[in-house]
Structure 1
Amino acid sequence: MSHPRVVDVVLLTMNDRPAEEKAAQATLLAQRGVDLRICVVGNGCIPDIVPAGARTVVLKENLGIPGGRNAGARALGEAEHPGDCLFFLDNDATFPREDVLSRLVAAAEQHPGAAYVQPRLTGPDDTTSPRRWVPRLRTSDPWRPGTITTMTEGVVLVRRSAFDAVGGWADEFFLYHEGLDLAQRLWSRGSTGWYAAEVRMHHPLTSPARHDQFHRLAARNRVWVAYRNLPAPLIPAYLAIWAFITAVRSARGGGACESFRGLREGWSRRRDQARCPMSWRTVLRLTAAGRPPVI
């Protein structure tokens, strides 16, 4: 790149991972080829670890991950000359090289139709990529770059103009599937996503099921994704497919009662969500990109 680009970085914390957060911030501050503006958001707390010169946002209560990240994005957007790109960083994710952000920005420049660029997320071994971290249906080759229709929320570069145009993350999701919702809304505006598989980031190999509310919130938010984004005729198909998948997964790993409680909650509260169904043209575009929106 001929000159540095400004990247606004939002890092959310609950002061629950001090060692991991120190490592995340150290590798963030080591990035080269970009100008960083950082906002550390205390989600129901005052952040304990804040880099010199960074902004802080202190939320009186835990608003959930999308709500906290929106607060950080707003704070950076209110600054003079906001960056063209936002990077959302989990506080336990690390950059294995000093050029990760500059390469992601370069990928965004090479793919102007992509509203977001996703690096390849691996465990600390630099190799292991669980299925859930590969942002496409065909997960056998996580090293293959290409157009994607969803995202891994905790390490993603998003164009600010596109992010602001769709209203950012869905606050009310609190946790889980906010990336799928955001991706579908960005696609609805004619954009795509790009998987820069050659650019790696590291994350502990933790399971999302470690959170007590995982089964309920994941199921509830699936319903809300469908109601918010899908044409009406596709909603029953989507929910039927995911009810079946949920039943199969629950038989193997438990959580059936909470999962189906979440499905009921999502359906009963669906009208609380802002509905803006995608066009049939977007359905076709998503299908052509390898992920029909009912899957």
Structure 2
Amino acid sequence: MTRPRVGVAVLTTGDRMPELLALLESVAKQDEPAVRVVVVGNGTALAGLPDGVTAVELEGNLGVSGGRNVAWRRLREFGDVDVLVDLDDDGLLIEADVFRRIADLYEADARLGIVSFRIADETGTTQRRHVPRLRAKDPMRRGMVTTFLGGGHALSMPMLEQTGGWPDAFFFTHEETDLAWRAIDRGWDVLYEPQLVLQHPKTSPARHAVYYRMTARNRVWLAKRHLPVPLVPVYLGVWVVLTVVRTKSLAGLRAWFGGFAEGLRTSGGPRRPIRWRTVWRMSRLGRPPVL
């Protein structure tokens, strides 16, 4: 294939403008420039962005999934982007060769669908939850995986066309896994590349008030949308047990089970179960879709 062209998408709710501007400066310093940079204001106005950055202002907050779909479609309209790079608005590219490395990866592998960055804090430490595999002790272990990190990743535009993009209804949490499962089921690869680093402040996902509810609701939706029928109760049962064991907050548990019930009684989108050979492939990659 010809040299892949990289486009960048960033979502913001307008409350991290200094961090956003620092990120955009790090994007501009890349030694192989992005052909397009789009910033989506998720329910916020955008002012003071650097020249050459396309601003898209949304009247309401569509969440991570909805906002990223808006960014993807805007980049698709330009017609000159082959690989979309999503970056958190409070992240930072600390090396200038990130886009060049990404283009190299996609140029070498036509079936590469998703590349997951390594997320590291200011000290270079990667939290265990930011390693997209079960054996997460070594964040420097490169390889094929079954999900990816939302804070920093690259997506093949043809893959997005084939899979249909992000699950709008999810709003926040597990949208990456939903997309990864669909990509793998269609024969695309998902690569964790720890040499691609997004510096990001150390945080807990529970800082968001809706975290427990949406985590549970979206996990149920994920199972209902994509798992073969025999695996649905197994997957959900495993996560009920893990959540009860891991969650120390009673309020968090109540919110989680409320979200679980919401997921059972509502739809997160059409059901398109993955094939059994995809289940086998994911199992060989170290993460069968029951965990």
**Which TM-score band (shorter chain)?**
over 0.9
Question: Could you tell me how far apart the structure 1 residues matched to 2:203 and 2:5 are?
Answer: 31
**CA apart distance, 1:199:** 2.2
Matched, 1:141 2:138: yes
Matched, 1:62 2:61: yes
**Kept after mapping to 2: 8 A contact 1:122/1:200:** yes
**AA matched with 2:53:** A
**CA apart distance, 1:36:** 2.9
**CA apart distance, 1:49:** 4.1
Equivalent residue in structure 2 for 1:238, among 203, 211, 235: 235
**Kept after mapping to 1: 8 A contact 2:167/2:269:** no
TM-score under structure 2 normalisation? 0.96
**CA apart distance, 1:110:** 3.2
Question: Could you tell me how far apart the structure 2 residues matched to 1:104 and 1:18 are?
Answer: 26
Query: Which has the larger displacement, 161-170 or 3-12?
Result: 3-12
Q: Partner of 1:205 in structure 2?
A: 202
Question: Could you tell me how far apart the structure 2 residues matched to 1:22 and 1:57 are?
Answer: 16
May I ask how many residue pairs the two structures share in their alignment? Answer: 290
Superposed, which structure 2 residues align to 1:272-291 within 5 Å?
272-291=268-287
**Structure 1: tracts of 5 or more residues without a match:** none
- CA deviations over 1:220-244 (Å, ceiling 9, x no partner): 1000111111111100000000111
**AA matched with 1:177:** H
- CA deviations over 1:105-162 (Å, ceiling 9, x no partner): 2123334332011121111112x11111111111011101100110101210000000
**AA matched with 2:149:** T
- CA deviations over 1:44-89 (Å, ceiling 9, x no partner): 111134221221211110111110111011011111x331100111
Q: Partner of 1:52 in structure 2?
A: 51
Q: Partner of 1:94 in structure 2?
A: 92
Q: Partner of 2:102 in structure 1?
A: 104
Q: Partner of 1:224 in structure 2?
A: 221
Distance 1:35 1:213, change over 3 A: closer
**AA matched with 2:171:** F
**Structure 2: tracts of 5 or more residues without a match:** none
* DSSP 3-state at the match of 1:251: coil
**Kept after mapping to 2: 8 A contact 1:28/1:95:** yes
TM-score under structure 1 normalisation? 0.94
**Kept after mapping to 2: 8 A contact 1:104/1:196:** no
**AA matched with 1:101:** F
RMSD of aligned residue pairs (Cα, Å): 1.5
Superposed, which structure 2 residues align to 1:1-295 within 5 Å?
5-79=4-78, 81-126=79-124, 128-251=125-248, 255-270=252-267, 272-295=268-291
Question: Could you tell me how far apart the structure 1 residues matched to 2:103 and 2:289 are?
Answer: 28
Where do 4+ consecutive residues of structure 1 move more than 4 Å?
A: none
**AA matched with 2:152:** V
Question: Could you tell me how far apart the structure 1 residues matched to 2:44 and 2:15 are?
Answer: 10
Question: Could you tell me how far apart the structure 1 residues matched to 2:20 and 2:223 are?
Answer: 34
Question: Could you tell me how far apart the structure 2 residues matched to 1:109 and 1:177 are?
Answer: 28
